[in-house]
Amino acid sequence: MTETVIHLHKDSPPAPDAFTDEARGTLTETIIDVVHDAEPRPVDPPAGPAPADSWIAERQAYLAEAPPVVPTFLRNAAEFVNAARWTASYYGHVTAFHAIRLPVYALRLLTRAPRGLARMILRWGRWVADTEARPVEAKAAASADIEAWLTLSREHSRRVRPRRVASLAVATATGITTLVGCFLSPGWTLTATLAAATLVGLNGKKHDSRPLVTRYVATNVLRRLDSTEVIDALAAIGIEGKKGRRGVEFAAEVMRDGPGWRAEVDLPPGIEATAVLEKRAALAAAMRRPISTVWPSADRTAHPGRLVLWVAQRDPAKAGRKLWPLMKQGTADVYEPLPYGFDPRGNLIEITLMYSNLLVGGIPGSGKTSCALAIVLGVALDPTAELWIYELKGSGDLDSVKPVCHRYVSGDEDEDLEAALAGMRSGIAEYQRRAKFIKSLPASEVPDGRRVTRALAEKYPEQRLGPRVIVIDEVQELFTHADYKDEAAALATRLIKKGRAYGLILILLTQNPDAPSLPSSVSSSVGTRLCLAVMDWRANNNVLGTGAYDRGLRATDISIDEQGTGILARGREGFTVRAAFIKQTEAEDIGKRALALRMAAGTLTGQAVGAAVEEQDVETILDHLRAIWPDGVETVHSHRLVEALAAYRADLYRPWLDMDAAGASTALSAALKPFKVSTRQLTIRECCGGAKGLRYADLPAAEDGE
């Protein structure tokens, strides 16, 4: 073997072309030694003594992840007050529970009193007669041990005589006292007798009788989690180390975490935490716990094989509801996260709408109305936010916010669908107006980027830059309508992509999250997604994004009985959340409070003040042509463009279909003339030879502010 050793020295000029220009400035000499027959070197350095600072390093590593010295509930005043309140509530409830049943307990004791009295008399008689010594005397007599028998007899007489005298005295005193008490104080005597009888009843319980005190069996309060259960459950689903390899290891001890327990587990080498997420139902079955109490998740901040298993002490599906934070008082700010619901641990989960959009999908009955209420009521409590709601089911589920809406439509007729289309067109017109204004501002006023902010909205009130939230419930009615689906998909996609920076927020809710009901151009553009219970992985990925099912974001594991529960995702990460349940009567009260806030702030507009809403439409035929132009096609004949336009915007272009091909081509040419775009004779062999047509390159490029 030959080994080449390169030594670098200073103070001598380097060899020509030996190093780069940068190296020449620092290295001065190169000597290359070639060593023949060199021994191979180990790649791992030999184990030597521990470095001097290893003790310090270990202490630093400990402090980096050390548990808090003072428990959380003592460091946080709110948590301490909450814990104290619940502790007092618990013991107060237990005290009241048993206090109200005291007469029942007393009656049970009285029924046991005769048996208890008989047992006491029997024991007293055995004590007076000293029956425990009889077997010893009998044994001495049987063995003809005269001396022992005489000794035992004398001892027996010495012990029995005082007991008989004491028993006679107690019986006489008790009888006289009871007789006198019956004549002098009959009430007190009866009370004392009953009290004595109840005490005697404590001794009258049968071995197979039911307990004296009524016990509440909490079937939804589960046993404590321990490491043995975790290891056994993981092994039952096939997660265990192979022969000769390390198995499951705990990164931290199993600890209390809110209303449950938390276990941090390092899975065997080569196994990712997603392997457990895929088998959540099997894991719950192995642990013999309800699936709604078992919540595995991956801790990617550590490594892909780190599993965090949280197990609820109480079944969240059977727990009492937690109130929405804004139920009784408070206001909201759409520029900030809005309170939405709670995770399985009971922690408040907020949802961010600003600079994002929201897609909510789930099968019928999965709790979409609860989600919609928690969202729109939060928006309604921001007096500066403008609400446009199109409830295309016609059920009136969102009527509680109708008094504060700039535009409110409820119904499933064609005119209602057309109103929703008009609302999105108006949203596009609004973002174009705002884009022009934002573009005109100096960079000093938009240091965080050219987008609408609370500061800009307050500085330029005349520009009306407050958030505009457009909610379309049952949006599948638009996306599956034969006449409106193409335009609806194009408008929603454009509004989602370009409106968010300018305060335009689109919220879409659907109960059919399949491919036809949810165009990919829409679902792939939404930033925030909420998937309720769905039937298969396709619907799951349609809402949460491609690959979500494989990453462990699985709304298919959510039961339809867990209404309002879903996977909330922004980007690739997601978590389980349950919408705060708000009754319709409570929603009406919140709506009234929102109305009062807006009246005080003077921000009621549109239908809320009885004005006719003018839904602007600044889209031109150029926008419509871009929307319907076939992908990857450079030239299209005019008559084909007219057919596509009529399907896209029947209200504008359907009359052109009544013309002949030449007339329709002329109408298209006339409509394009103001934009200095003209049709020309084109020969397209794949279509129908030569005819008037248009090249896509002839269309001017679209701009945000046009």
CA geometry: angle 76, 81, 84, nearest 5 deg: 120
Q: Is 365 annotated as a binding residue?
A: yes
Cα–Cα nearest to 491, from 450, 432, 449: 432
| Kind plus residue range of the DSSP H or E element containing 651 | helix 650-653
Q: Which long-range contacts (CB under 8 A, 24 or more apart) does 437-440 make?
A: 437/463, 437/465, 438/502, 439/705
Q: Is 40 annotated as a binding residue?
A: no
Integer Cα distance of 408 and 422 in angstroms: 12
Asked if residue 348 lies in contact with residue 517, where contact means CB atoms within 8 angstroms, the answer is: no
Q: Is 503 annotated as a binding residue?
A: no
Q: Is 693 annotated as a binding residue?
A: no
Beta bridge partners of 389: 408, 471
Integer Cα distance of 43 and 312 in angstroms: 48
Tell me which DSSP letter residue 310 carries.
Answer: E
Q: Which pair of structure tokens corresponds to residue 458?
A: 């307050």
Beta bridge partners of 358: 507, 528
User: Which residue's structure tokens are 């298969």?
Assistant: 536
**Sign of the CA dihedral running 516, 517, 519, 520:** negative
The two beta strands, 348-351 and 306-312, are unpaired
CA distances from 404 to 382, 592, 608 (A): 11, 9, 5
The two beta strands, 407-410 and 386-391, are parallel
Q: Is 368 annotated as a binding residue?
A: yes
**Sign of the CA dihedral running 678, 680, 685, 687:** positive
Radius of gyration of the chain measured on its C-alpha atoms: 41
Which residues neighbour 434 within 8 Å (Cβ) at sequence distance 6 or greater? Answer: 452, 463, 465, 502, 503, 504
Dihedral pair phi/psi, residue 570, rounded to 5°: -135, 110
Q: Which pair of structure tokens corresponds to residue 546?
A: 């491609």
Q: Is 362 annotated as a binding residue?
A: yes
Q: Is 366 annotated as a binding residue?
A: yes
Q: Which residues are annotated as a binding site for ATP?
A: 362-369
Q: Which residues are annotated as a binding site?
A: 362-369
